[in-house]
Amino acid sequence: MAVKDEHLAAINKLFRTQTVVVLTDLLRALRKRSAVTVFHVLKAMGYYTSYSHKGRYYTLERIPKFDDLGLWHYRDIGFSRHGTLRATIVFLVDQSPAGRTHEELEPILKLGVQNTLLFLVKAGRLRRELITDTYVYFSTGRARAAQQEAERRKLAPPPAGRAALPLPGQVTPAILVALLLDLIHHPGHDVKDVCRQLGAQGLWITPEQVESIFRYYDIKKTLRPRSGRSRR
């Protein structure tokens, strides 16, 4: 069934004034009672369904500006290149060098994921291992999971006899792990890059705290001079 030009025009007009919409907005724009026509038109135009809010929101393919992980947020509504929340979590775990915990995933996705993670483990789409009292989720590919687990164990607390890292200020273990994972993903990152990357995840750390962690782990970096703004 061909898509009518008037229907394409009506949807384009709707999205000129709204960035994301719900089904009732689309039905109203097309003056239809059935969702069949709505989704026929959307499919022809290309669209995304939100992975948050139970998939209630829609946007056209041309609108999102996805980040490096394939995510885009409009206010508190999340969209993903990978489709559903489940598919997105599987992607985020698979591509991570050291797997991910729910505490690492939630700031990225901006919603709770524990129930979804449990479903994915039971469905055989993720692996879960308890490492230093924390559940870590890995790829189901045997070779990939082995690599991820090896990297994760490098991030585990030091063995007995070695002094624990005196975390400065408000640095939590979750922030420490996020910092070390960032350096695995981006080995060229310096202090300023790390602060910016963690800040984008909603994890706040000062340049001084980053430098302290670099020194403790003997991370050899050529650090950029901090600006007056960074010292605040």
Model's pTM, two decimal places?
A: 0.70
- Amino acid in position 5: D
Query: Angle at CA 134, nearest 5°, toward 131 and 136?
Result: 70
Q: And the tokens for 97?
A: 């060098």
Lowest mean per-residue pLDDT among 18-22, 57-61, 214-218: 214-218
Share of the chain above pLDDT 70, in %: 87
Each residue of 180-215: pLDDT tens digit? 888 888 888 888 888 888 877 777 788 878 888 887
Each residue of 21-43: pLDDT tens digit? 999 999 999 998 789 999 999 99
Q: Which residues contact 4 (CB under 8 A, 6 or more apart)?
A: none
